[in-house]
């Protein structure tokens, strides 16, 4: 459970660095690990288990870090951490980046390089946080690795996987697929509930037809919305269609119609509509990583992507709010461990070894 940003109880606004002269002591890796651990695990108790350090040692490391930086990073109330200050929110992504890059540097010299060719499919109708950065970093420490990325709708990724033109693919499905058994080679990254969203509160009974803002045909969200409206006996038309999630969010924000989005994709200016507004329930959506090709190379590369997907939260329907603590980054060491080790792959479409 990641921490959220809170205002200072003393001033009513987030803490800022003090104007006084800064401490000249260097920031240590242990201090960075302590802060990142508390922020990502949601408190000192969980961080102590993750870092294998006592809570008092973690507390002391963070207080020293705050002294060096000249500002508070954590908001504490009655002995408990309740969130990050604004300064903590700004500092956290840089701290995460230092730890990730250190782990990657260590892995680069400790493990054999990944070498070979990988064909990867990623959904352009779902924002996969920092996947480009994760792939770029992995390529940086594996000079013999070549990754060819195809960005398209989840339905097309599934077809490309089935035809052997992709080695790995990230895609999404909705009920009844969510309730079904996992597919061969599937790693569930996240399960979220879908929501009807619009710019303002809308009563479905006041609409002759529901103006839908949707992705193109083949999108799981679109299919789920049409099925739900059909069962409810409500007519609809396509007011705006785009394969780009930014365009979809923008069209909803502009008031062009009603969209269907998971909680993590809902913008701050969107209004969630529900049964009280006359809109039917929607099924959950599952974001999955499918490893179709066999071999250590593909499994290790899948570990990189899965580590990156930690920003989506645990794979259950309770993870409805994305972490606000800084930029989306893989946990330090997770992606780096995956980036090292493996064997050469095959060309997509040829029989596995």
Convert the pLDDT of each residue in 323-334 to its tens digit.
Answer: 333 333 444 444
Looking up tokens 């999404």, which residue turns up?
A: 172
Question: Taking residues 151-170, what's their average pLDDT?
Answer: 92
Share of the chain above pLDDT 90, in %: 42
Q: Rounded to an integer, what distance in angstroms lies between the CA atom of residue 160 and that of residue 167?
A: 9
Closest among 114, 131, 122 to 297, alpha carbons compared? 114
Count CA within 13 A, CB hemisphere, residue 132: 5
pLDDT digits (tens, 9 = 90+) for 40-71: 887 888 888 888 899 899 999 999 999 999 99
Q: Is residue 147 pLDDT above 60, yes or no?
A: yes
Q: Tell me: the pLDDT tens digits for 196-240? A: 999 999 999 999 999 999 999 888 899 899 999 999 999 999 999
- Token pair of 340, please? 């090292």
Closest alpha carbon to 194 in 289, 290, 269, 125: 125
Q: What percent of the chain has pLDDT over 70?
A: 75
pLDDT score recorded for residue 261: 92
Helices 29-41, 55-69: crossing angle, 10 deg rounding: 110
- Asked whether residue 150 carries a pLDDT value surpassing 50, the answer given is yes
Look up tokens 């929501």; give the residue.
195
Q: What is the mean pLDDT of residues 129-140?
A: 77
Pairing of strands 210-214, 258-262: parallel
- 311 neighbors 259 (Cβ within 8 angstroms): no
Number of H helices, E strands in the chain: 10, 11
- Give the confidence band of 162 by pLDDT, cuts at 50, 70, 90: very high
Place of tokens 């013999």: 144
Mean pLDDT of 100-106: 78
pLDDT-based confidence at 13, cuts 50/70/90?
very low
Between the alpha carbon of residue 286 and those of residues 50, 115, 221, 274, the distances in Å are 27, 31, 11, 21
Count CB atoms within 10 A of the CB of residue 67: 12
Q: Is the pLDDT of residue 353 over 70?
A: no
Q: What is the CA radius of gyration of the chain?
A: 23
pLDDT of residue 16: 52
The more confidently predicted of residues 291 and 333 is 291
The CA-atom distances, in angstroms, between 156 and each of 53, 123, 220, 242, 337 are: 47, 9, 11, 15, 31
Return the pLDDT at 128: 62
- pLDDT of 12 reads 42
Close Cβ partners of 63 (under 8 Å, ≥ 6 residues apart):
none
């Amino acid at each position: 459970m990641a921490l959220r940003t809170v205002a200072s109880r003393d001033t009513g606004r987030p803490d800022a660095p003090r104007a006084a002269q800064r401490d000249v002591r260097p920031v240590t890796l242990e201090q960075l690990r302590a802060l990142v651990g508390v922020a990502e695990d949601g408190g000192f108790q969980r961080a102590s288990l993750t870092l294998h350090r006592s809570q008092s040692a973690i507390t002391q490391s963070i207080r020293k870090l705050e002294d060096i930086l000249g500002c508070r990073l954590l908001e504490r109330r009655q002995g408990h951490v309740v969130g990050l200050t604004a300064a903590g929110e700004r500092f956290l992504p840089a701290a995460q980046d230092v730890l990730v890059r250190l782990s990657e540097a260590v892995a680069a010299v400790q493990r054999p390089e990944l070498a070979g060719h990988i064909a990867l499919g990623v959904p352009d109708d779902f924002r996969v946080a920092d996947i480009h950065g994760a792939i770029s970093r992995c390529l940086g420490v594996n000079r013999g690795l070549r990754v060819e990325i195809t960005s398209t709708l989840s339905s097309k990724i599934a077809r490309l996987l089935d035809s052997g033109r992709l080695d790995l693919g990230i895609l999404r499905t909705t009920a009844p697929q969510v309730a079904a058994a996992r597919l061969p080679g599937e790693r569930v990254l996240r399960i979220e509930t879908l929501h009807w969203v619009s710019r303002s509160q809308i009563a479905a009974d006041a609409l002759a037809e529901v103006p839908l803002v949707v992705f193109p045909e083949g999108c799981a969200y679109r299919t789920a919305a049409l099925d739900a409206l059909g069962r409810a006996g409500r007519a609809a038309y396509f007011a705006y269609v785009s394969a780009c999630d930014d365009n979809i969010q923008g069209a909803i924000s502009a008031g062009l119609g009603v969209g269907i989005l998971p909680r993590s994709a809902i913008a701050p200016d969107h209004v969630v509509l529900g049964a009280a507004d006359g809109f039917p329930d929607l099924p959950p959506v599952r974001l999955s990583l499918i490893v179709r090709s066999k071999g250590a190379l593909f499994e290790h590369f899948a570990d990189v992507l899965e580590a990156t997907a930690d920003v989506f939260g645990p794979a259950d329907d309770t993870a409805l709010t994305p972490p606000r603590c800084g930029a989306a980054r893989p946990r330090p060491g997770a992606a780096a461990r995956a980036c090292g080790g493996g064997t050469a792959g095959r060309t997509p479409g040829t029989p596995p070894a």
